[in-house]
Amino acid sequence: MTIEPTPDAILSFASERAKEAWAKNEQPYLLARLSPDLAKEGISYKGVLGEQRLADFVRSGHAYVKVVSHPSQKSKIGLIPPDKDFDFAGESAAVKHKIPVADTSIDRKKGLRRRYIVSNFLQLLSELDDAEVAQVQIPTNILTKLMRE
């Protein structure tokens, strides 16, 4: 799909990606993925939008996409088709119940919970744009220590 470097084309592209994500698993297309996906198409949104933030820009495209935000994770912003509804709060409650607690050992539970938290943290980092990710520096030995049981 070749897209023009115009605001309408970017919104159309975002709309198509949101529809694809929704059709696949009824989940939002995360805004953090839009910039890299546009880059793969040879489009720099900053060249088209100037100083306007991508999140603010897509919020103005009500006819193309609906913007949904996570209630507690400010950077988790998703795009869904405008005629659909999605609530991140329901998703968070479901994730909380998936913490494995099969072993009754207190140390084992603490280790599993710690791994769960680190894993979620890394997932959040993956949703940042490339410039923000480049600023994050966590020594590998710290992550390894946090993942131990």
Residue 56: burial class (beta carbons within 10 Å; 0-12, 13-18, 19+): exposed
Q: What pTM was estimated for this model as a whole? A: 0.57
Topology at the third CATH level for domain 1-84:
Nucleotidyltransferase; domain 5 (3.30.420)
17-71 pLDDT per residue, tens = 999 999 998 899 998 998 899 889 888 888 888 888 888 888 888 788 888 888 8
Which of helix, strand or coil describes residue 144?
A: helix
Q: Where are the domains of the chain?
A: 1-84, 99-149
Structure-model confidence comparison of residues 148 and 8, the more confident one: 8
72-113 pLDDT per residue, tens = 887 888 899 988 888 877 654 444 444 454 545 666 677 777
